[in-house]
A and B are shown apart, each in its own frame.
Chain A
């Protein structure tokens, strides 16, 4: 008898139902490891604050200042969702999972969609300056900044750059800047602003999908 004879025969292919179930479980475990449920809760809090601000008149309804409060909330939502880029497993996960880039891509896209959806639900029936288009543009653009930032700072500190951008956009808003890269202050139909925001999101998404968030720096904090 040789060692070749001792090898077990290849396992039969799992039924499609099992593959679907394991795939769903993989996605769920990936989401849980990134604290996606908690992030959705945090996004709901952001939406609730925005709704409360609209209901109780905490913000200006017209003029330059009308975008100020929603912009902070939208930036905050983006800052919260980029926190989900952090992996608690670090390097071992990268070496062991060939599905990881797809999971990253799916999670980032899904969370961006959830953020826009939650904020849209929050403002339904209330008059939001700029409407859903400006809100969606702000969320995706700032999320792109956060995803790019996560490659350098790690996921847990990736909120810093989006917050800085929002602070800068506040200044641009008051100064009536018109550069397309200050997209939060541009009108809904501004093509340049859309291009910049989408380019930022695409760059962040691609880089994050391929590289993943840095794990070392944030853990040293």
Chain B
């Protein structure tokens, strides 16, 4: 079959390119990286759709882009490396048609593997998630990221063919990704927000997309930015023959490239640059809202409204309720809180139910701290203990992947500690007074939780007594019968909360 005949059948050329593509050689590595990095990372996250899907842009894309850029550059530099440009210049179709087939075949394999990974990830999540559905924006961002990296490498390979182009393109995109992620880590309210264009921007909180819709604003800007870059690079490819001639021969080069193709190249270049510039400008206007980073020009105000849901509850006299997205852990929460709730049942303002509430925003700020995360509180009639996911501290989410009894015990005691601290010290649970610390430690000792965990946590905060004195008072208080403890607490709770009770006054 002649080249002319082939060129008249672009679909057949594409099939040939797909069959002879070099990408399948990298597929085993991509699968291995997916299993080691993306899949393991996702398995350690709670089965909440928004959280699990974040690994697509956080891990999977980072693993894919060096190969996408490197292999794209390898394929793009093929004619230059083999010095067949002049030979192929005599074919009836423009060079862009040949390049489109080669690029299309490379993208076919890369996107096939990428989307297969997404399917595995989402099927696994679907088997574990108890609420919600698969978000598509992270998939779009990831797919566009892979396409952009490939086109970037392909363009580099076409314009600068050589044996070193492929590895340098691969390293280049990894460094770009690293720089973007590094900048994105420092994005916080009141600072420059352009770094949100990095697909590896902040890891969402555990309840992101649970109480409020996860705003797609940043994802839209990322798709616009990367997509615009890819389109502009395609325009550059179309104009590549023009760029290879000196200025004097520019007009004749335009003639050789073809008037329509040249016009299309310029149009693509301008459109891509415009899209990327617009996305860059939009990212600069981002502000933090209840549903994460919001870009006013793209934001849908409806996503700021809470998502209605019916909580899943357990228990009878003391009800432990969680959002249905976390219902897999209802038993753990119930088992942790019921014993301590029984110790304070009937006391003034003792909660009769608990509920998980929204953390307030969807994005962690710099330095691993979180903005506007409310502390747990007791409110309402009858009183209810409200807490955010943050109270879970180290919840046994990863039990699904890595069962760990030690982690469970630690989580139980920390959860109980938060509950009791909020009760005996409300409205200000930090810092505790020495007597408050002793009472909480005593009640935790009574229910069989490791008190030392609490003392270690509160060691730097307590006042009015050393840890030894607090421990002695706690043991003394715990040694009394439940009725005595209950009666003392009923009589002195107000003074205890006010911080006017000393260690010596504890029975």
Please give the residue numbers on chain A whose beta carbons come within 8 Å of chain B beta carbons, in ascending order.
35, 38-39, 42, 45-46, 49, 58-60, 68-69, 72-73, 75-76, 79-80, 83, 86, 153, 155-157, 159-161, 163-164, 166-168, 170-171, 217, 220-221
Contacts of B66 in A (CB 8 A): 163, 167
Cross-chain pair count, CB within 8 angstroms: 97
CB of B167 within 8 A of CB of A163, answer yes
Which of B22, B41, B164 is close to A221, meaning CB atoms less than 8 Å apart?
A: B22
The main secondary structure of chain A at its interface with chain B is: helix
Q: Point out which of A79, A153, A217 has the most chain B C-beta atoms below 10 A from its C-beta.
A: A79
Q: Given the complex, which residues of B lie within 8 Å of A156, measured CB to CB?
A: 74, 163, 166
| B164 near A157: Cβ-Cβ < 8 Å | no
A157-B22, A167-B63, A221-B74 given; A79·B33 CB < 8 A = no
Q: With A159-B166, A164-B29, A164-B33 in contact, do A76 and B171 touch (Cβ < 8 Å)?
A: yes
| B168 part of interface (Cβ distance < 8 Å) | yes
Task: Give 6 CB contacts A-B under 8 Å.
Answer: A73-B175, A75-B171, A155-B163, A157-B166, A160-B29, A170-B62
A72 touches B164 (CB 8 A): no
Judging by beta carbons under 8 Å apart, are B163 and A157 in contact?
Answer: no
- The B contact surface, by secondary structure, is helix
Q: Which residue of A lies closest to B162 (CB)?
A: A38
0/1 interface trace, chain B 24-55, chain A, CB 8 Å (1 if under): 01100100110011001100000000000000
Interface residues of B in 175-216 (CB under 8 A from A): 175, 178-179, 182
Question: For the complex, what is the distance from the CA of A159 to the CA of B163, rounded to whole Å?
Answer: 10
Q: Which of A58, A75, A80, A86 is the one whose CB lies under 8 Å from B179?
A: A58
The size bracket of the interface on B is: 20 to 34
Q: Which chain B residues lie closer than 8 Å to A220 at the CB level?
A: 20
Interface centre among B33, B41, B164, B174 (most CB of A within 10 A): B164
Pick the residue among A35, A59, A79 that contacts B167 (CB under 8 A): A79
Q: Which residues of B contact A (CB under 8 A)?
A: 20, 22, 25-26, 29, 32-33, 36-37, 40-41, 59, 62-63, 66-67, 70, 74-75, 78, 162-164, 166-168, 170-171, 174-175, 178-179, 182
Closest to A76 in B: B171
B67 touches which of A69, A83, A163 (Cβ 8 Å): A163
With A76-B168, A83-B164 known, 8 other A-B pairs at CB within 8 A are A49-B175, A69-B178, A79-B170, A156-B74, A167-B33, A167-B66, A168-B37, A171-B40
CB distance from A147 to the nearest CB of B (A): 14
CA distance A46 to B170 in the complex (A): 12
Nearest CB of A to B387, in Å: 29
Complex Cα–Cα for A10 and B73 (A): 52
A31 to B70, CA, bound (A): 24
Most buried by B among A35, A59, A157, A160: A160
Residues from chain B with a CB closer than 8 A to the CB of A59 are 182
List B contacts of A49 (CB < 8 A). Answer: 175
